[in-house]
Amino acid sequence: APGPLDHFLVEAAGGGAIPTQTAGAGFNVRITAQDALNYTAAFNGTVEITSNGALVGTPVISGMFSNGVLPLQELTITSAQGNTTVSVADAGGSGKTGISDPFTVVPAPAAMLVIGVQPGATEAGSVIAPAPQVLITDSYGNTVSDAMNMVDVAIASGPVGAVLSGATTVAAVNG
């Protein structure tokens, strides 16, 4: 017979490590209550779920476990980053916890342009410093590092007759 609850195993819904995920896309995890020998422990409570990534709805309270297993818990993380983990803690206050193996969350598809570095005030005929930087991001603000889109730059406001010289259309590099 299994022993009392010692910790939780957090893994992919089909078992094993959570694979690479896409920011903003839901994915399922399986959480198993385990005893000190890693056998499934009798646990029929709930857990509080958190992440070191931007977990939607944090903290998430799981559904009820049945015989020590929560077979599917859908989660959504919006921050693109490596070494993302999902952590759980017994919502009943026993102090028992668990953490997934690290996994990667990649950006969602490119959705918008963001000014990363604003151009400074510059005298006519001078080089703009600092040089403006435009980022291609997903809808969650993550830089899409593999985006190589062409970006057009123009003057939105300024003195009458102001003109940009040099390249005003450039290919993005690393988003």
Predicted confidence at residue 123, as pLDDT, reads: 83
Q: By C-alpha distance, which of 27, 33, 93 is closest to 64?
A: 33
Predicted confidence at residue 1, as pLDDT, reads: 81
Q: By C-alpha distance, which of 23, 123, 119, 145 is closest to 75?
A: 23
Predicted confidence at residue 129, as pLDDT, reads: 85
pTM of the model: 0.88
Please identify every stretch of the chain with a pLDDT value under 50, giving residue numbers as ranges. none
Predicted confidence at residue 45, as pLDDT, reads: 95
The tokens for 81 are 């980053």
